[in-house]
Amino acid sequence: MTSRNSSTQLWLITHYHENGSLYDYLQRTALDVETCLGLAASIICGLVHLHVEIFGTQGKPAIAHRDLKSRNILVKSNRQCCIADLGLAVMHSQGSDYLDIGTNPRVGTKRYMAPEVLSEQIRTDCFESYKKTDIWAYGLVLWEITRRTAVNGIVEEYRPPFFDVVPSDPSFEDMKKVVCVDQQTPVIPNRLFSDSVRLRRGLGGASRGLQFWGTRLQSTHGGATSSGWQRGRGRVEPGTPTPKLLQTLGEVWGAWGGLGSLGRFGEPWHHPKHRSLFAPPPPRFCLPWLR
């Protein structure tokens, strides 16, 4: 707030990120594996923070983004990401159980819409449904990031998800046919499998780093049990949102670790190979996303 010529002015000051959006960054920059993991992990940390309701004087409601995509993610100078453009976000407070979704649940960028949105079967009265659509979109962003990651000296040009099966500006019906009728998902580049051991180790380290972050969140804002968040003053939102996101992170990233297809980005993915995702991490992967 400033005053000029006896007139009060309100200024909004924000950070400037010269790297621009993740979409822009991937257009011009090829990634190594460590940068790939740093970008991916910082995005999921931001998504965890949005999805969790925090109580107290410095608290906030639970938030689902509803338009997560590479254009709405900014890359900071330290090559970590922050989530931007919450114009379509929906908030939920457990105390009032109120959802401010408006009259149209079909919002967001069509290319990144989840199957339940495209099929118009999403539960519009359930906040968990909107969190799951964010996870679907995050899976597509992961595909964009890994496509631009160099493995054995090979890296593809940037392309948006489903670039080979829909027009540059797909309609709602275009995406519905591809995702719901044909049940297509983006193709994982074969070159990623040639370095699957290194990727799994790195992804496992990133996952453990996120578990450390989740533990810190719990200790700051409330306890947790294996069956759910404890109810009480200063708690984090019940319903195990953070563990669920951590689990989904392992499920989504597990597909890159040596399996042949993605399946449903947001659905459980059970496979014995995924156990290697949660092996003890290299030290360098444990703390960077807490800063």
Predicted pLDDT at 153 = 87
Give the helix ranges, DSSP H, for 148-240.
Answer: 172-176, 191-194, 196-221
pLDDT at 96: 81
For all residues of the chain together, what is the average pLDDT? 73
Quick check: is 125 catalytic?
no
What is 19-290's CATH topology? Transferase(Phosphotransferase); domain 1 (1.10.510)
Catalytic residue among 67, 164, 169, 182: 67
Confidence of residue 105 (pLDDT cuts 50, 70, 90): low
pLDDT digits (tens, 9 = 90+) for 282-291: 333 322 332 2
End-to-end CA distance of the chain: 29
In angstroms, the CA 240 to CA 225 distance is: 9
Contact indicator for 144, 73 with CB cutoff of 8 Å = no
Question: Which residues, in sequence order, are bridge partners of residue 75?
Answer: 81
Task: Give the DSSP H or E segment for 2.
Answer: strand 2-4
- DSSP 8-class letter at 83: E
pLDDT in tens, 78-92: 999 999 999 899 999
pLDDT of 12 reads 87
Residue 201's pLDDT band (cuts 50, 70, 90): low
**Averaged pLDDT, 111-135:** 92
- What lies within 8 Å, CB to CB, of 199 at 6+ separation is 33, 151, 192, 256, 257
Measured distance CA(177)–CA(76) in Å, rounded: 36
Are 51 and 134 a contacting pair, CB within 8 Å? yes
- Given a contact cutoff of 8 angstroms between Cβ atoms, the answer to whether 88 and 66 are in contact is yes
Most confident stretch, 83-97, 191-205, 268-282? 83-97
> Which segments of 42-150 are extended strands (E)?
62-64, 73-75, 81-83, 90-93, 98-99
> How sure is the predictor about 112, in pLDDT bands with cuts at 50, 70 and 90?
very high
Residue extents of the structural domains in the chain: 19-290
- Assign 107 a pLDDT band (cuts: 50, 70, 90): confident
The percent of the chain in helix, strand and coil, each rounded to the nearest 5, is: 45, 10, 45
What b-and-e string marks burial along 242-281, b requiring 16 or more CB atoms within 10 Å of the CB? bbbbbebbbbbbbbbbbbeebeebbeebeeeebebbeeeb
pLDDT in tens, 143-185: 999 999 998 888 999 999 999 999 999 999 999 999 999 999 8
Rounded alpha-carbon distances, angstroms, from residue 35 to 29, 162, 169 = 11, 24, 29
**Percentage of the chain modeled with pLDDT above 90:** 43
Question: What are 38-49's pLDDT values in tens digits?
Answer: 999 899 999 999
**pLDDT computed for residue 198 by the predictor:** 59
Predicted confidence (pLDDT) at residue 118 exceeds the cutoff of 80: yes
State the DSSP H helix or E strand holding residue 229, giving kind and residue range, or none if neither.
strand 228-229
